[in-house]
Amino acid sequence: MRLANKVALITGGGAGIGRATALRFAQEGAQVVVVDIDDAGGEATVEAVQRQGGRARYVHADVARAADCAAMVEAAERAFGKLNVLFNNAGIMHSQDGDAVNTDEAVWDLTMAVNLKGVYLGCKYGIPALRRAGGGSIINTASFVALVGAATPQLAYTASKGGVLALTRELAVVHARENIRVNALCPGPLRTELLMRFLDSEAKRQRRLVHIPMGRFGEADEIAQAALYLASDESSYVTGTEFRVDGGLTAAYVTPE
C-alpha cells in the first residue's frame, strides 16, 4: 500500500482526474476527502470508493471562497485526524474563453478565481494542516498550456495554469525545509468531459491531436497514476517540478534554453 495511513484531500473530486485519483489513492490505502461543488458527482465518487472497500467523505466547497477552503481542510482533520496530501485539482475551462479580444472580462475573472485563486486558497489553509501532520505533499493541477500556447485559443485558462506553475515553484522553495513537497501536474489533452465539452467539434479535436506524438488523448487514470507517485513517499526527493504527462506534446515543441 503506497499511501497506507495517509489522508488525502482532492478538490474537483466529482469527475475526471479527481474521481480517478480518489479511486486510485483509496486503492493504495489512503483515506480520501472528496471536494466539489457538484454534490451528485462528489457523492458518486465517495460511493465508488466505498464499493471498492475504501474510506472517503464528501465535502461541498467552492475553492474560490476562502471560508469554503478553510472548512474543507477542517472537515478532513475532523473526519480522519490529519492531512498528508493536498491535491488542488479543481478547475474550469469556460466555453467562451478565447483570445484577448473576444474573451469577456467576467470569463477571465471566473477562470482566475477557480483555477488560480483556488490553488492559493487550498494552500493557504492546507499548509498549516500539513505542518500539524509533520509534512506532506501538495499537488497542483497545471497543464501543458502553461508551457506552450494552446492551438485553440483559451487565454484565461492558459494564463491561470501558468500562474499555478509559478505559484507551485515558489511554494516548493519556501516550504522545502518543512518536509512539505509541492509539485505541479501538467497533463496533456485528456479524454475528459471538461476538455471534450470545450473541443466540441471533430475539427477542434483533430487540431489538438495533430500536436501529440502519441496520436491520442490521455485518460484520467493515467494522470491519477502520476498523482499517486507525487503523493507517495517514492517521490520524497521531488519538489518544485512540472510533472508532464502529455503523450510527448511538450517534448515536440519546448526547446531548453
Residue 252 has pLDDT above 70, yes or no: yes
With cell 471498492, the residue in question is 52
Cell of 37: 461543488
Domain layout of the chain by residue ranges: 7-244
The whole-number pLDDT of residue 231 equals 98
CB 188 within 8 A of CB 246: yes
Catalytic residue among 120, 157, 237, 253: 157
**pLDDT tens, 27-81?**
999 999 999 999 999 999 999 999 999 999 999 999 999 999 999 999 999 999 9
- Radius of gyration in angstroms for the set of CA atoms belonging to the chain, rounded to a whole number: 17
**pLDDT tens, 127-142?**
999 999 999 999 999 9
CB atoms within 10 A of CB 69: 25
> CATH homologous superfamily for 7-244?
NAD(P)-binding Rossmann-like Domain (3.40.50.720)
Least Cα distance to 136 among 213, 82, 184, 186 occurs for 82
Residue 257 has pLDDT above 80, yes or no: no
8 DSSP assignment: E
Question: How confident is residue 84, by pLDDT bands cut at 50, 70 and 90?
Answer: very high
For the question of residue 157 being annotated catalytic, the response is yes
pTM over 0.75: yes
Residue 196 has pLDDT above 90, yes or no: no
Least Cα distance to 157 among 113, 209, 201 occurs for 113
